[in-house]
Structure formats: C-alpha cells, structure tokens
Structure 1
Amino acid sequence: MRIANRLLLGVLGAALMGAGAVTLLAGRRSPGTVLLTRADRVRWRDEGWWWPVVIATLSVLALLALWWALAQLRRRRLNDVLVPLDDGTGARLRGHALETALRADAESLSGVAHAHVHLHGRRAAPKARVALVLDPRAEPAATLRRLETQTLTQARTSAGLPDLPAEVRLRGEHHGAERAR
C-alpha cells in the first residue's frame, strides 16, 4: 500500500506541476489578458460528447479516490489465524497470541536483545514479519538459522499451519564504545 500511496502522490504532484507550468506559460502570452477568453470558455458547450466525457472522467476519479480512502482503512494485522483441524474444519487462533509467542521465543534465542513480530496475509496463509535487534557479539547467520529451525518451525507445528513464511530483518543494538584499560 505504501508503494501505491507514493505512486498516487507522485502522479498527482506531477500532474499539478504540469498544469501549473502550462498555466504560467499560457499567461505570458501578453500581459493584461485573461487566461481563458469567453470564446474558449463556451467553445465545447454545444458539443454532444463533451458532457458525457466530463461526467465519466469525474466519476472515475471519484471512484478511484473512494477506493484509495477505503484501502487506507483496511487492517494491516491479522486478527486471527485459521488453524486446520483433522476433521476438515478449522479453529481460530488469535493473531496477537501467535505474535506474542513468536516474539517470546525469538527473544529467548542467544544473541537477540529484542524482537518484534507482525503477522499479515490471509487467515488461512499467514506470513510473519520479524525484526530482531541483535546483541553486539551476536552471530547473525547462526541467530537467523536458529530462528528458522527452532522458533518458526515450532510455531508452525504448534499452530498446525502447513507453512509460515517469514521476512526477517536484523539490526544491531546500539552500544557505547568499549574502553581498553
């Protein structure tokens, strides 16, 4: 959604800058004249296609603006995860509970100072975004391997999920310089 917002703002900004530049250039024709003469303003009034095109264009723009506004209200987090059961039905697991369990397991790994977990995707196919803040002496490759083989595997099997893909971001913990004595 961030990409769509930036793209929409970029296109809108470019269109407004282009319209402003055209207006400035058109106004320099001769000082003291109006930008649109009376003939320019009433030119399309008698054309049969003009008003349907204007109404259709404005309707499409209004629908796009409404779609964009509704997309902003959409929840980004999963409220619950659908856990498949053996009888073909499913149970609901609170998304926050799974996030909390994943975070606690990730923070128990050696070398991890803090962890943040965010579930997104669909109820039947959740995805995890994990951000780990590593201690200064942590080994990132080993920590990532333990996160995958222990924490994510345990969460997937405990919740009965066929798959739990994860995007993991690692960051080092800020610390002061060590002094030699």
Structure 2
Amino acid sequence: MNTLRNAVNRTLLALAGAALLAGGGWLALTPDGVAGRLPGWWPAPDPEAGTVLLDRDGLVGLRVHGWWIPAVVAGAACMLLLCLAWLLAQFRGGGRRLPLAGPSLTLRSRALADAVARRAEATEGVERAQVHLRAGKKRSRARVRVLLEPGTEPGPVLARLTSGPLDEARASLAPHPLTTHLRLGVRSTRERRAR
C-alpha cells in the first residue's frame, strides 16, 4: 500500500476514534448528563420529555431559519463526496494485475514499478528514481525519472539502466511489450546548497 495513503488512513481513523472516545467519555463522566453543559443558544431538553437534545419542536424552530436546510444538505453532500473519494482512493493505488508468461501468474503494476525503481536506485551514478507504470491489456508504458548524482556522466548511466532494470522489466512482462520513457536529470547547485 502507498505509504502516504496509509498515513492518511491511519491519521483519519485516529482522529475519528479520538473524537468518539472523547465524546463518549464526556457523556459517561458527567453526572447530570449534557444538559447543563450545552451552549446557551442550544435548545435545552425538557426534563419531563426525557433526554432528547433536539425534539420535534426544536427541529421545526430550526427549519424556520432560511439557512438551516441548505446548510444541512450541503454538509451531508460534502461528507458523502469526501467518503466516496476516500473509498475510491483505496482501490486505486494497488495497480492493475499484469499477466506474466507462466500459467495463471500475475503481478501488480505498482509492485513492478517499485522493484524497477529500487533496481534503478542501486545502479551506479543514480541518486533517486521514480517509476510510474501504466498497464494495458496489450501494451504497458513506463515513465522513469532518474536523478543523477552530481558529476555523473549520463551516457554510461543510461546504458546501465537500459541493460539492467529496464530490460528486466521488459523480460518480466514478456510476451507483452513495454514502452519506456526515460528522463534523466541532475540536481541543481541551488538545490544542493539548500540540503
């Protein structure tokens, strides 16, 4: 799983859990319930009617205001869209399953991209590498960005990358072709001074 998405998921779950725990603890530890701790503008529950925080009369009173219904609808729509976006993000990061040469063997495109990036970073003269792999049914495309170490000649590094990690990726996907777009870069002097 993507480390950024994993961190966001854990943070959101921790915040939701902390909010629920704090709210539950507050409700459980207050001896007279929450009626005495509500803000002044909140309608207080009727002691004879029970402990309902917002009864039918209070809801009718809120509906009189012109902002109430649009605010509730907009808030619910925003929450729904955020939850749907979060749900869709969970399925997006793993990548497609790529068929391999053997019978019933598959490989996730994200796993192959990570492996190619690690192999590229292990190549002499490479400081950092990023690989994005778009898998198709008949043809796959890899976009490789490589940051060279300062003072490294790009020609030999290009030859090592082509005959090393990129050829291994092509062999992994055979008989399906892999088109590769390789971009080499060098960190600028200004970036080196900043670190």
Question: When the two structures are superposed, what TM-score results if normalisation uses the length of structure 2?
Answer: 0.45
TM-score with structure 1 length normalisation? 0.49
